[in-house]
Structure 1
Amino acid sequence: MIQTAITPFKQKLASPLTKKEITVLQINLGKRCNLACSHCHVEAGPKRTEELSPETCQQLIEIIQRFPQIQIVDLTGGAPEMNYGFKPLVEAARATGKQVIVRSNLTIFFEDGFADLPEYFAKHKVRVVASLPCYLSDNVDKMRGAGVYDGSIKALQWLNQLGYGKEPDLIVDLVYNPQLPKDEKFSLTPNQTKLERDYKQYLQENFDITFNNLFTITNLPVGRTKLSLERKKLYTPYLQFLESHFNAGTVEHLMCLDEISIDYLGNVYDCDFNQMMNVPAKTRDGENLTVAKLLETGSLDLINQVQTAAYCYGCTAGTGSSCGGALV
């Protein structure tokens, strides 16, 4: 008998996902981007205009300054660097001793008005997490657009010249995403440790590039990935594939447990995927959360349980997946 239903994710769990103390503040600054990648769960691109408002930016700076429990401020987009508030948020976080992560597409360095970014990153010791979905050019350009691979290579060489990948406080990590499925021959991400060795060897031998870590991230059926799967009638089969590889050992390491994700309007979510699917975080009383509410109550720890959905199988399949790569 062929299974057609997807088991609700929460039924797979021994107990509900309970929020821990919030230590990671992930902010999606908006949907403006110089690229329009085929797998983008944010559906960002050059024609998108949604971005942080000055008011929300100021509230976020206040949160960064008021809550010492935040250890990491993780800036994403779109291309976060193109959206309002990027540099003020970097500087507020660094001034309070927090680590700043920027999720960069690297090619932004070569757009008009952004050539100062590599030096700016180095000056503020920003940790760069850069998308390079393969170490071979064909696969990258198919997913991200013609010429993106060459631009990414030049950008990594530029960062290396500034000490990234070499000096202990200048960290550059790369992110691997699988190709989007074309048929029902689905696969999980490869072994992260082995793939990192392959990336390092290839990039060193061919381009004299060094980097710190490789993160393997599963394509979650959200945003453009979901649309692509639906067009090919693969959405339900892909979810079934992810469910069939559910690994209970990943659950205690999920990124949603100790982070909150903020959108450009100041709404609060448990993770970036819930944000894109408009599944807001809830207080114990079932109320939706905003940045204004966090400031008003003086607490980041108002969420009891993480909101879940079928796409959560993407984070818990195989070795697991998070913004920091494999979980186990």
Structure 2
Amino acid sequence: MVISPPQIKKSTVSITPFFQKINTPLNKQEITVLQINLGRRCNLACTHCHVEAGPKRTEELSPEICEQLIETIQRFEQIKTVDLTGGAPEMNYGFKPIVEAARKQEKEVIVRSNLTIFFEPGFTDLPEYFAQHKLRVVASLPCYLETNVDRQRGAGVYNQSIRAIQRLNKLGYGIDPHLMLDLVYNPTLPKNENFSLTPDQQKLEKDYKAYLNEHFGIQFNHLFTITNLPVGRTKQYLQRHEILHSYVKFLESHYNSSTLENLMCLNELSIDYLGNIYDCDFNQMEGLPAKMANGETITVAKLLKLNSLDIIQEIQTAKYCYGCTAGCGSSCGGALV
């Protein structure tokens, strides 16, 4: 009788903790950006959504936290940008009051829109509202081809997105220098260990502009390439395919130290719908709060009480930070180098 040798499980290569890789504390700079996650309500449930937002989610900003945020925006002149996200930020409580308070203070306001919200009952006036208040629109369009978009975001999303961009163009978005329209690319999720980094942002932007203009007469300002970080639904997807560890190791293997000085977490506060403070949106989704030097966590109420936005010394890091520092880097504003 032949006895087969025992199956030895292939060992996994360990991942270096991010703080060891950078070998120096990642320190906060003066805060100039507030990124506010208004809630998890959304009309879509995209496969790559790190927020795990969707139509069945009900979490959103409360009137109390909304008032605290408005007071923060009004009090601190150093805030240059208020960046509104979600879910679909437009669906969540506090969207318009925060927009109007920030614009009254002459802050730049970014709305991260999925575009399809324009066709939902009660939200059909959003393009005109955006233009009226000169909001900067950062819109998800993960590919310029229909098949790839609908695979990630749902059937029919591509055609709705095209129609939405055309509406924005008619209002001057992508044409008028005061009406900025940026699109966001993110790669499809891998099914195996054949990983790749995001393409060159400048080259891909040219491809987007050429294709969308030729086929739909569409114009926009910038394309942002964003890496899929192993957080939320992306993390769950990678776990199901048993490639989470190897994906993070892939990101680590492409770590680029020159991205560090441009990381979005350096000068921003990420705020959730409960008023808790994080160093970035990804830490928010992973429940890794920002901390003061004494280890205390922070809320908007505490910022107001201390009358300062600059109370964080060291940024909290995790292994998924390799997603922001791999290759040309990744941020809410696209590539870093």
Whole-Å separation in 2 of the counterparts to 1:164 and 1:275: 31
Match of 1:88 in 2: 97
Whole-Å separation in 1 of the counterparts to 2:214 and 2:108: 31
Whole-Å separation in 2 of the counterparts to 1:313 and 1:253: 14
Whole-Å separation in 1 of the counterparts to 2:243 and 2:95: 37
- What does residue range 84-233 of structure 1 map to in structure 2 within 5 Å? 84-233=93-242
Match of 1:244 in 2: 253
Match of 2:53 in 1: 44
Q: Identity percentage over the alignment?
A: 72
Q: Which amino acid aligns with 2:83?
A: D
Q: CA deviation at 1:3?
A: 5.2
TM-score by length of 1: 0.99
1:18 pairs with one of 27, 42, 45: 27
Q: CA deviation at 1:242?
A: 0.2
Query: What whole-Å deviation, never above 9, does each CA across 1:286-322 have from its counterpart, x for those lacking one?
Result: 1000000000000000000000000000000000000
Query: What whole-Å deviation, never above 9, does each CA across 1:194-217 have from its counterpart, x for those lacking one?
Result: 000000000000000000000000
Instruction: Look up the SS of the partner of 2:182 in the other structure.
Output: strand
Query: What whole-Å deviation, never above 9, does each CA across 1:55-108 have from its counterpart, x for those lacking one?
Result: 000000000000000000000000000000000000000000100000000000
1:59 pairs with one of 68, 72, 76: 68
Q: Which amino acid aligns with 2:327?
A: G
Instruction: Look up the SS of the partner of 1:61 in the other structure.
Output: helix
TM-score by length of 2: 0.97
Instruction: Look up the SS of the partner of 2:70 in the other structure.
Output: helix
2:293 pairs with one of 267, 273, 284: 284
Whole-Å separation in 2 of the counterparts to 1:16 and 1:319: 21
Whole-Å separation in 2 of the counterparts to 1:207 and 1:141: 17
Q: Which amino acid aligns with 2:282?
A: F
Gaps of 5+ in 1: none
Match of 2:78 in 1: 69
**Structure 1 position 258 matched with structure 2 position 256:** no
Whole-Å separation in 1 of the counterparts to 2:293 and 2:75: 23
Q: CA deviation at 1:2?
A: 6.5
Match of 2:6 in 1: none
Instruction: Look up the SS of the partner of 1:175 in the other structure.
Output: strand
Whole-Å separation in 2 of the counterparts to 1:305 and 1:267: 17
Q: CA deviation at 1:284?
A: 1.1
Query: What whole-Å deviation, never above 9, does each CA across 1:220-266 have from its counterpart, x for those lacking one?
Result: 00000000000000100000000000000001110000000000000
2:327 pairs with one of 318, 323, 326: 318
Instruction: Look up the SS of the partner of 1:289 in the other structure.
Output: coil
Match of 2:3 in 1: none
Q: Which amino acid aligns with 2:143?
A: C
Q: Which amino acid aligns with 1:200?
A: K
Root mean square deviation of aligned Cα: 0.8
Q: CA deviation at 1:14?
A: 3.6
Query: What whole-Å deviation, never above 9, does each CA across 1:147-188 have from its counterpart, x for those lacking one?
Result: 000000000000000000000000000000000010000000
Q: CA deviation at 1:15?
A: 1.4
Whole-Å separation in 1 of the counterparts to 2:190 and 2:65: 37
2:276 pairs with one of 267, 279, 289: 267
Q: Which amino acid aligns with 1:21?
A: E
Gaps of 5+ in 2: 1-9
Q: CA deviation at 1:9?
A: 0.2
Q: Which amino acid aligns with 1:277?
A: E
Instruction: Look up the SS of the partner of 1:214 in the other structure.
Output: strand
Whole-Å separation in 2 of the counterparts to 1:5 and 1:30: 35
Whole-Å separation in 1 of the counterparts to 2:21 and 2:53: 32
Instruction: Look up the SS of the partner of 1:73 in the other structure.
Output: strand
Name the larger-Rg structure. Answer: 2
Whole-Å separation in 1 of the counterparts to 2:11 and 2:182: 41
Q: How many residues align?
A: 328
Q: Which amino acid aligns with 1:38?
A: T
